Structure 1
Amino acid sequence: MCFFFNVKKNALFLFFFYFFFFNISLFSQEFEQEILEEYLEQEDEEDPVSKYFDELESYIENPLNLKKASIEQLSKLPEFSVNLSGKILHLVKKQNFNSIDEIADTLQLSLKQVRILKLFTTIEKVDKKKGKLYYRARNRINFKETKGFESDKFQGSPLYLYQRLSAEKNEYKIGFLTKKNPGEKSLNEFYSGYFSAEFENIELLLGDYTLRQGLGNILWSNYRNSKSSNVVSSALQYRNGFSPYRSSTDYKFFRGAALLYKLNVTEQSRFNISLSYSNIDRSATVDAALGIASSVYTAGYYRTDTEIQKKASLPETCFNGSLQFESKNFSLGASILNVNYKYSVESNAKNAFFGKDGNLSTLYSMFHLDNASFAFELSKDARNNLGAKAASILKIENLDLAFHYRNFSAEYRSPFGTIFGETYAPNNEEGLYSGAKWFVNQQFTLSSYIDIWRTHKETSTLPVPQKGIELFSEMDYFFDQDLEFIARFAYKNKTEQKTVQKEKKLFQKGIFIFRMELKYQIDKLTRIRLRNENRLINYEAVKGNETGVLLFCDIQRKFFSNFNAYARLSLHLTDSYDSAIWQYESDPLGYALSQALYGKGLRAYGGFKYEIFDFLALSAKFIAVKKANVEKLGSGLNETTGSSNQQLFIQLDMKF
């Protein structure tokens, strides 16, 4: 531990500066970043931009109006199942409830659910809106040059620039986004835009969009709904429709036009008829002479000659048509997606289409009552391989239960589909998930799940079928509204292979995770959070066990009514990358990162948000990383020399 004390002086100064500098009595506030972080956190998935974050953030800018929201819209929020969403909307629309607190008292919502409702929703009369305009610009500065620049592999400048402009008035919305990564040539290396209009029976969207239908077997957004502490509502996510694409990730979205027509049959039933067209050039490794694409490129970086050659090299055309009958408690839909490429895709990736063209089709349905919901989806890919999901959520007094079964053949390919399971794509997996959440009282919640799964055939990394089991349990207790304690235990076991003395050995890898966390609202201005996480990796007799430990403390402080600051210091010690502990970060607002911390070192950051005027806010975040016993950080072209690195984020937000 002496290493930590030698290198953390400056970080500790930065950390405690925020805590002691002022002591002013102002108003309390909900820390939206912390709430978002808790539900966006994903294990073992390093992603510089959270796609789900973009969607939830739109609810912060424009809170969901419960007077006109649908069950599908409200159930997007963490902790809100389709059952609970239906009850809330019934109270608001049919019984004229006008406050979140009144809803919370009637339905006995937990403190956490009340916080989320107050952050993401509102209850207002449905009338004409004033026009709104939003602009965001974000710059990231790396203080050390990476290997890509040192070796002149990168063709562009070190500038990172993200820009987003959106506007809305009444039924109309418009948005445009550009992004340039360090090493890329153009300021709009990635760009995206949309125009949408929503009337009583017709919705129209031109530009970039995502399609989500049923449980997501053939069509979903590029955010994978994964296992988390949101053990119940995440198991049944059911959608039918399209949404503007707001992310800066260069894959799994459509570019063209989408139309939805709502044909009312009775006061409580209707048909939804949806048509969409997309024409976009995907990035891929293409051999034009042979007429094949050997892989589809989804990393989204265009810095080197090799990466630039892949950009927009695979023309893709898609048509989609869907028909859904919808009543108060029941929906049944069918959809067909036609996919056509200029070159035949012959990739082994499980999330890539195989072939030149074909039709994917699906049938889906959901039935829900006050205390029970059931849904299923049965799908066929372009080569007649089958995939299926079935899910249910039940409420028995203070106990919520969730079940989710999935089964996709080893050959099933769905380039725009998703899976609630172990892997990242609906392919070669069968599993059964069971989750439970017990609301002991408003302050005390117990959550758990078990997921048992297997693959039908060998995988890309194993010569035999893989099997696994995952157990999760969490206790969340509020001593009062200011003090919260969370304890978590998780266990994962799955088949893996390791080379020992030039011999490949199969074994069942076991991962034990234990976490304790304390959140304390010290006063109306200051909130502190402490976390300890420990890991034990068991390799059976193949090699010795590995361990990992993480300690972090972060603090948020409101100095003035328009100035918030935050800081975090993380200390980590793991035997290798295999025992890395993942830390989720989501500052500044709109940027999310799941960071793997491994080896011996620290990660510290501090930042602020300053609302200069009602229409203008400035945010900044400084990150410092220090590791022991290493001569470089990162890998590949992102590698930097030395044992430390620093980054600075600067963000400007304007709204009118």
Structure 2
Amino acid sequence: MTPRFLLVFLVPSCFQVLFAQSLPTNGLDIERFIEERFAFQDEDIPYEDLYESLLQVHLNPLDLQVVSAEELRSLHILSPLQVETFMTYRTEFGPLLSTYELQAIPEWDLKTIESILPFVQLNSSQTLPGVAGLKRIRTAENAYFILRQRRVWQTRKGFSPPDTLPGGALSNRYLGDPNDVYVRLRLQQPGDFSLGLTADKDAGEPFVWDGRTRRYGMDFLSFHYTLYNKGAMKMLTLGDYQFQFGQGLVFGAGFSVGKGSETVATVRRSSLGLRPYTSVLETGFFRGGAITYQKGNFEWTGMYSLAPRNASIQIFRDSLESSEGYLSSLVLSGYHRTESEIQKKAQAREQNIGTNIHYQSPKNNLQVGANFLHTRYSRPLIPRARVYNQFEFRGENNSIGSLYLSYNFANHYFFAESALSQSMGKGQVVGIMSSLSRQVDFSLVWRKFDRNFHSFYGNAFSEGSRPINEEGFYLGLSYKPFRKITWSAYYDHFSFPWMRFRMYAPSSGSEWLSRFTYTPNKQLAFFFQWREESKSRNLLSDEQSDNQYLLAEGKRKNFVWNMSYQPNQWWQAKTRLQHSSYQINGTKTRGFAIFQDLTGSVGDWKFSGRISLFDTDDFENRQYLFEKNVLWAFSVPNFYGQGMRCYLLAQYKINNQLTCWARWAKTTYTNREGIGSGLQEIPGNEVTETTFQLRYQFNR
């Protein structure tokens, strides 16, 4: 018997023992996965797009027999050493015979394997040979329909009867009902085709058919049809789509984490190329057509997009008798609940023409590429002049291009991208990830974005939510002295050469994080995390002088203690304590939150629940808490003031095709008699919401 077959014969037996008391290896707890990679929560993070990207990979796992090193890195799970050892193992021994064989790969420990199994598979069925036309679509491997409804049961001011204003006019109110409704249809055969339709209506939006305002039943509709691997054509997409190339200076869609408790593997972006857009965020995607051709080691991608954009229109002062006007702002909220919000819907047309050329060396250790994107608006975009936005984009046209490369040498991975926008503003990202030993991984990233660098679809590694007006240097480290202990940390220093919102002077800042994880056994895990951030901002108006804006350094501190206990595969408990403080101009405020989670399963039922308490002095100390939700929905609420939050989530698998979810959540405040403001205001101190969802899976 050869050593390879002896190894594969012995490893499954050992591996089954190791997994005997673990959760099912094909399951995915997305909330847990994201929490492990986010050190803290922030309102600037596009959680929904992140959540969507993860589920897309989960539903279309990477085939370990053909997966590239770049695709493995894109999961942000493996260290450079682990990627290198996998590729070397597969080259030396050939195709894997079983997922149990992953334990035989050097440097792949049990935790790594448990983390990656929901995103990989062996020998995926790429096509349906001999099946054509509609039958090919009807027999798709991954086909499902989802219907979801969510509602807040207290009456917000926007749903109350309108008041009569002086002169007889009625006050502003929402035009629709208080239900959120979400519909999704997906038919997909991995490696062959994907067909999808997503529709969404937010609370307060009316269900109407009005072509003038581009409302066709649901307020937002998204559609795509994608073909894969048809000869030299690697991919063709019609409808809504996104791009991910280089380090995100031009095209930056997809799963991009940035700074978090995973301090090494998440600092770079992956060149995954063209992908369908399936989220309900009403911005950040293209609408039209795109195609990717492959010849040898070269790929060429071209795209055209003509998409409506929500915008506020103003009339030029010298043309009151004409319809000429300009866009004073692009509206990104996606809400169309009132007459004024509906008037801004699809008021602008955004045309994009772009291309990418990508080269990958035969040994897959070198990637070189170029991006170009030209954007044209139907009217000039002229934001209202502010003291801090003098270098923001103004006009109808913007062009941006970039060059990028990545190079892998042994356990060291180098990446870089440099871009130039039409305004002659530059953007650069340069970094390295390296495994110095079996115990030590580190990362370095330097970035610089000019104050007049304009990238509408960029999502590069940065402190701000956009790559503009910033320079910074990041150092990340991960150290595993023993199998049960991990220490990770990062330090980031950044500066803003020009003014920003709430920073009316050039400024700088820094932040660092340290996280210690201890796993004494498979059932129990602890982590302690400390983060500090120093960043300047304007003083309040009554603290300013008469002739200049004054800044003060604000220092934010966060501490998290977490314990997870999983005695068997049927239930798990988690306890967490969070504390924060914020100090500026001699004033210090604090906040804390504590919660207890319990998750279990009995037969075809799955349950999850939480009770949490919070107490904060002000909004600066608001506490973000990831919560479990129904499939394809995310929940990251933040709380400030004093109160209690609890929720219950139940999932029941009726049969192989039909699954249902129900969720109830309630927040009770002890220090207020009104919640929210404006049309979102709720009288009283309680908010109760429910969510119901049905999923029907075809071909099961």
The reply to whether TM is greater than 0.5 is: yes
Cross-structure match for 2:83: 85
Residue 172 (1) aligns with residue 193 (2): yes
Residue 35 (1) aligns with residue 62 (2): no
Task: Name the aligned partner's letter for residue 304 of structure 2.
Answer: Y
* 1:101/1:477 CA distance change after superposition, 3 Å: farther
Cross-structure match for 1:14: none
Cross-structure match for 1:67: 65
Verify the 8 A CA contact 2:65 2:96 in the aligned structure 1.
no
Deviation at 1:525?
1.3
**Residues in 2 aligned to 1:93 and 1:555: alpha-carbon distance in whole angstroms:** 44
Cross-structure match for 2:148: 138
Unaligned runs of 5+ in 2: 1-19, 129-138, 163-171, 208-216, 316-322
**Residues in 1 aligned to 2:89 and 2:650: alpha-carbon distance in whole angstroms:** 39
* 1:353/1:223 CA distance change after superposition, 3 Å: farther
What CA deviation, in whole Å up to 9, does each residue of 1:522-541 have, x standing for no partner? 333110000011112222xx
Cross-structure match for 1:298: 332
Cross-structure match for 1:522: 567
Deviation at 1:176?
0.6
Q: Alignment partner of 1:457: what SS?
A: coil
Deviation at 1:219?
1.2
Of the structure 1 ranges 199-208 and 509-518, higher mean CA displacement relative to structure 2 is found in 199-208
**Residues in 2 aligned to 1:198 and 1:576: alpha-carbon distance in whole angstroms:** 51
Cross-structure match for 2:121: 122
Deviation at 1:71?
2.8
What CA deviation, in whole Å up to 9, does each residue of 1:579-627 have, x standing for no partner? 1111122411211122211111111001111111111110111000011
Of the structure 1 ranges 585-594 and 423-432, higher mean CA displacement relative to structure 2 is found in 585-594
Verify the 8 A CA contact 1:37 1:585 in the aligned structure 2.
no
Cross-structure match for 1:628: 670
Q: Alignment partner of 1:114: what SS?
A: helix
Verify the 8 A CA contact 2:608 2:649 in the aligned structure 1.
yes
Cross-structure match for 2:383: 347
**Residues in 1 aligned to 2:392 and 2:250: alpha-carbon distance in whole angstroms:** 12
**Residues in 2 aligned to 1:591 and 1:127: alpha-carbon distance in whole angstroms:** 28
Cross-structure match for 1:602: 644
* 1:652/1:282 CA distance change after superposition, 3 Å: same
What CA deviation, in whole Å up to 9, does each residue of 1:44-84 have, x standing for no partner? 21779521111111233232222232333322223235664
Residue 326 (1) aligns with residue 323 (2): no
Verify the 8 A CA contact 2:458 2:466 in the aligned structure 1.
yes
What CA deviation, in whole Å up to 9, does each residue of 1:434-467 have, x standing for no partner? 1011122332211100000000111122221121
Q: Alignment partner of 1:251: what SS?
A: coil
2:613 pairs with one of 558, 561, 571: 571
Q: Alignment partner of 1:69: what SS?
A: coil
Residue 243 (1) aligns with residue 304 (2): no
**Corresponding pairs, count:** 624
Q: Alignment partner of 1:50: what SS?
A: helix
Of the structure 1 ranges 333-342 and 34-43, higher mean CA displacement relative to structure 2 is found in 34-43
TM-score (norm 1): 0.91
1:216 pairs with one of 233, 236, 248: 248
**Residues in 2 aligned to 1:648 and 1:316: alpha-carbon distance in whole angstroms:** 37
**Residues in 1 aligned to 2:111 and 2:341: alpha-carbon distance in whole angstroms:** 44
**Residues in 1 aligned to 2:53 and 2:579: alpha-carbon distance in whole angstroms:** 32
Deviation at 1:207?
0.7
Deviation at 1:201?
3.1
CA RMSD of aligned residues (A): 2.3
Deviation at 1:195?
0.7
Verify the 8 A CA contact 2:417 2:430 in the aligned structure 1.
yes
**Residues in 2 aligned to 1:157 and 1:40: alpha-carbon distance in whole angstroms:** 37
Cross-structure match for 1:559: 602
**Residues in 1 aligned to 2:21 and 2:113: alpha-carbon distance in whole angstroms:** 22
* 1:125/1:321 CA distance change after superposition, 3 Å: closer
Residue 583 (1) aligns with residue 625 (2): yes
Cross-structure match for 1:535: 580
What CA deviation, in whole Å up to 9, does each residue of 1:481-523 have, x standing for no partner? 1111111011111112222745364211111111110000033
1:207 pairs with one of 234, 239, 252: 239
Residue 192 (1) aligns with residue 222 (2): yes
* 1:118/1:146 CA distance change after superposition, 3 Å: same
What CA deviation, in whole Å up to 9, does each residue of 1:297-318 have, x standing for no partner? 1111111111111111111111
1:162 pairs with one of 179, 182, 202: 182
Q: How does 1:177-576 map to 2 (within 5 A)?
A: 177-186=198-207, 187-199=217-229, 200-202=231-233, 203-221=235-253, 225-264=257-296, 270-287=297-314, 289-327=323-361, 328-347=364-383, 353-397=393-437, 398-499=439-540, 501-503=542-544, 505-539=550-584, 542-560=585-603, 562-576=604-618
Verify the 8 A CA contact 2:30 2:51 in the aligned structure 1.
no
- Choose between structure 1 and 2 for higher RCO, CA contacts under 8 A separated by at least 6 residues: 1
Deviation at 1:196?
0.7
**Residues in 2 aligned to 1:596 and 1:325: alpha-carbon distance in whole angstroms:** 44
**Residues in 2 aligned to 1:245 and 1:350: alpha-carbon distance in whole angstroms:** 33
Verify the 8 A CA contact 1:387 1:408 in the aligned structure 2.
yes
Verify the 8 A CA contact 1:619 1:652 in the aligned structure 2.
yes
**Residues in 1 aligned to 2:91 and 2:332: alpha-carbon distance in whole angstroms:** 43
Verify the 8 A CA contact 2:77 2:116 in the aligned structure 1.
no
Task: Specify the structure having the higher radius of gyration (Cα).
Answer: 2
Task: Name the aligned partner's letter for residue 316 of structure 1.
Answer: E
Of the structure 1 ranges 42-51 and 57-66, higher mean CA displacement relative to structure 2 is found in 42-51
**Residues in 1 aligned to 2:472 and 2:609: alpha-carbon distance in whole angstroms:** 40
Q: Alignment partner of 2:111: what SS?
A: helix
Q: Alignment partner of 1:260: what SS?
A: strand
Deviation at 1:101?
4.1
Cross-structure match for 2:11: none
* 1:365/1:388 CA distance change after superposition, 3 Å: same
Task: Name the aligned partner's letter for residue 303 of structure 1.
Answer: R
Residue 616 (1) aligns with residue 616 (2): no
**Residues in 2 aligned to 1:520 and 1:621: alpha-carbon distance in whole angstroms:** 23
Of the structure 1 ranges 43-52 and 610-619, higher mean CA displacement relative to structure 2 is found in 43-52
Cross-structure match for 2:214: none
Q: How does 1:11-50 map to 2 (within 5 A)?
A: 28-29=23-24, 30=27, 32-39=29-36, 41=38, 42-45=40-43, 50=48
**Residues in 2 aligned to 1:127 and 1:259: alpha-carbon distance in whole angstroms:** 19
**Residues in 1 aligned to 2:583 and 2:557: alpha-carbon distance in whole angstroms:** 8
Unaligned runs of 5+ in 1: 1-24, 265-269
Verify the 8 A CA contact 2:258 2:461 in the aligned structure 1.
yes
Same amino acid, percent of matched pairs: 24
Verify the 8 A CA contact 1:448 1:471 in the aligned structure 2.
yes
**Residues in 2 aligned to 1:508 and 1:138: alpha-carbon distance in whole angstroms:** 45
Residue 647 (1) aligns with residue 647 (2): no
Verify the 8 A CA contact 1:48 1:594 in the aligned structure 2.
no
**Residues in 2 aligned to 1:536 and 1:428: alpha-carbon distance in whole angstroms:** 28
Q: Alignment partner of 2:329: what SS?
A: strand
Q: Alignment partner of 1:593: what SS?
A: coil
Task: Name the aligned partner's letter for residue 271 of structure 2.
Answer: R
Q: Alignment partner of 2:626: what SS?
A: strand
What CA deviation, in whole Å up to 9, does each residue of 1:227-265 have, x standing for no partner? 11121111111315110001100001000111111111x
Verify the 8 A CA contact 2:21 2:568 in the aligned structure 1.
no
Cross-structure match for 2:166: none
What CA deviation, in whole Å up to 9, does each residue of 1:329-387 have, x standing for no partner? 11111121111111011237799753101321111111112301111111011211111
Task: Name the aligned partner's letter for residue 329 of structure 2.
Answer: S
